[in-house]
């Protein structure tokens, strides 16, 4: 199992610290008033098979948590949906191990974008499909954005958003179809990840669990799978 940085382990430990808690087999259910009311429930399934869930007190009251003996994670999610919570599709969470090597030479192809690159980015962005843009969520005005050029054309970009009250620099990667499989995406991820660490943040690579290409990219860049994360959609 990967040796993840202490800041990663500490964040997820604090997330599941409970005002009250119950455990049934491999499933642990925490109730915490500290959880963001806009996302009042989540489940994290770790690589070893343990499953941690956390809900806000008002959700726990609706669930009737005293009667959940024998539930599996799937049962819990069905109960969430039954009381009107909307669930996002499951994501994989990847992090760099503590002893991750520095960026490879391929990262030299990538660089941080500046204001002078805005026009190139806009051309790149509009050349991508709407679905790819939605999946990647890469924006020029994010906290940091890096890119790879093929000649004068921007073909791959990665950007970072910072999670509130966390050590994480959340990565998004967008590559034009005709530039895939040429090492551009790998180069930009390997360039932006050490930049995040230099600024005091841990790069977090998230992707949907059925996105085989994105999973392969994460692994090729040295990331290790931390777990599978399901969170409720934002509530008003």
Query: Scanning the structure block, which residue is given the tokens 């994480």?
Result: 168
Q: Nearest 5 degrees, angle CA 87-CA 167-CA 112?
A: 100
**In the chain, where the domains are located:** 6-87, 95-224
Q: Which residue has the higher pLDDT, 36 or 194?
A: 194
* Mean pLDDT of the region 57-72: 73
> Which pLDDT belongs to residue 70?
66
Q: What is the CA radius of gyration of the chain?
A: 19
Calculate the alpha carbon distances from 165 to 10, 15, 35, 99, 137 in Å. Answer: 12, 11, 11, 24, 21
Query: Scanning the structure block, which residue is given the tokens 């941690």?
Result: 52
- 160 token code pair: 């970072």
Between CA 107 and CA 236 the distance in angstroms is: 41
Q: Which residue has the higher pLDDT, 161 or 71?
A: 161
Q: Which residue has the higher pLDDT, 84 or 197?
A: 197
User: What is the architecture of the domain spanning 95-224?
Assistant: 3-Layer(aba) Sandwich (3.40)
Task: Using pLDDT thresholds of 50, 70 and 90, give the confidence band for residue 64.
Answer: low
Residue range 94-149, pLDDT digits in tens: 999 988 766 556 666 899 999 999 999 999 999 999 999 999 999 999 999 999 99
* Mean pLDDT of the region 81-96: 91
> Which pLDDT belongs to residue 67?
60
Check: CB of residue 157 under 8 Å from CB of residue 146: yes
Q: Where are the alpha helices (DSSP H) in the chain?
A: 6-15, 57-63, 73-82, 118-127, 130-136, 184-198, 212-220
Which stretch of 6-15, 109-118, 225-234 has the lowest confidence by average pLDDT?
225-234
Q: How far is CA 58 from the centre of its chain?
A: 26
């Amino acid at each position: 199992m990967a040796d993840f940085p202490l800041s990663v382990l500490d964040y997820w430990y604090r997330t599941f610290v409970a005002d009250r808690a119950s455990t049934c087999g491999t499933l642990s259910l925490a109730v915490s008033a500290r959880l963001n009311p806009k996302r009042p429930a989540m489940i994290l399934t770790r690589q070893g098979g343990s499953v941690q869930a956390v809900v806000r007190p008002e959700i726990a009251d609706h669930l009737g948590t005293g009667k959940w003996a024998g539930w599996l994670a799937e049962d819990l999610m069905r109960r969430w949906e039954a009381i009107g919570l909307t669930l996002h599709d499951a994501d994989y969470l990847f992090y760099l191990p503590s002893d991750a090597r520095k960026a490879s030479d391929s990262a030299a192809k990538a660089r941080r974008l500046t204001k002078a690159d805005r026009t190139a980015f806009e051309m790149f962005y509009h050349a991508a499909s709407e679905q790819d843009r939605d999946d990647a969520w890469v924006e020029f005005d994010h906290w940091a954005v890096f890119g790879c050029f093929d000649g004068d054309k921007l073909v791959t970009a990665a950007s970072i958003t910072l999670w509130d009250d966390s050590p994480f620099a959340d990565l998004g990667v967008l590559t034009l179809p005709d530039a895939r499989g040429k090492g551009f995406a790998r180069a930009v991820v390997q360039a932006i990840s050490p930049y995040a660490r230099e600024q005091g943040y841990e790069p977090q690579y998230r992707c949907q669990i059925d996105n085989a290409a994105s999973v392969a990219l994460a692994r090729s860049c040295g990331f290790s799978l931390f777990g599978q994360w399901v969170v409720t959609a934002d509530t008003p």
